[in-house]
Amino acid sequence: MSPHPFEVHTSDIQTLRAAELMAWIIEDAVQARGVAHMAISGGHTPRPLYRLLAQSPWQERIPWAHTHIWWVDERCVPPDHPESNYATAYALWLQHQPVVIIHRIRGEESPTRAAALYEQELQQVFEGSPWPRFDLILLGMGADGHTASLFPGDGALQVRDAWVTVGHAPTPPRARVTLTLPLINQARYILFLVTGRHKAPALRRVFGETSPHPPPAALVDPEQGHALWLLDEAVAREADLPFFPGLFRK
Ligand code: 6PG
């Protein structure tokens, strides 16, 4: 029995499934509360999804005028830097959005100031909430099992009394601004997108092993929400976990 709900798809279907689920979640949020809040991740994995969202029918189907787009994390670089998560999403998707409400992490500021400004913006928009509840948080996972910019052994992973903090990556750009684990775990829906056989060892640690030091991605467990792992065939086949469909067993 898998500890986490998951689906295994070809890469193309994985991207389409993510867009479908995103559309459903956002439509449901806007219908229920008049607004949707979604936080997106950076890295390479979500790039096909961002390209897809810039196309029809996703442009017309998702009520973007009522959707606030936030970032899960950001590298402390300027917004036009090739390593910027904002720059990636803007180039592939957001520049094509006729209407979009975005809350950019100011990577051009010092890490602590960027984190403080982002937390202030969250407090203004989620005014009065003890914790912001995102309708959807889109997460990836690194080969070391990190998610957001919560890296194994980094102090950012232990922060429980803030919504935003400064994370420290093992590779440049090292300083990152990131949502904290307790905030991520307030989400209504969390979608993990994980692709590539090189992620299999981390996936096994998240799905298979009980370890005294679980990888950060294994600590994502929404308190009053749902997490779903969308895996591609390459990582599922390599991970070869006992509850994976037979097609992906060696
Ligand atoms: C970032 C992301 C990060 C990402 C993982 C996976 O800023 O890099 O937010 O958490 O999701 O590192 O990255 P890839 O998709 O590039 O493998």
pLDDT given for residue 250 in this prediction: 65
178 lines ligand 1 (CB under 6 A): no
43 lines ligand 1 (CB under 6 A): yes
167 lines ligand 1 (CB under 6 A): no
Taking the domains of the chain in order of start, what are their residue ranges?
6-204+220-229
Q: Is the pTM of this model over 0.85?
A: yes
In tens, the pLDDT along 126-143 reads: 998 889 999 999 999 999
- Ligand 1 atom 10: the closest Cα is on which residue? 148
Instruction: Locate the ligand 1 atom nearest the alpha carbon of residue 199 and give its number.
Output: 17
Write out the DSSP string of 166-211: EEE-SSSS-EEEEE-HHHHTT-SEEEEEE-SGGGHHHHHHHHT---
pLDDT > 90 fraction of the chain, expressed in percent and rounded: 89
Which structure tokens are listed for 30?
């806007």
Distance CA(57)–CA(53), nearest Å, equals: 8
For ligand 1, the distance from its centroid to the CA atom of residue 42, given in whole angstroms, is 5
Mean confidence (pLDDT) of the chain = 95
Average pLDDT over residues 111-132: 95
The CATH number for 6-204+220-229, chosen from 3.30.420.40, 3.40.50.10420, 3.40.50.1360, 1.10.645.10, is: 3.40.50.1360
33 lines ligand 1 (CB under 6 A): no
Confidence of residue 249 (pLDDT cuts 50, 70, 90): low
In this predicted structure, which of 29-33, 94-98, 109-113 has the lowest mean pLDDT?
Answer: 94-98
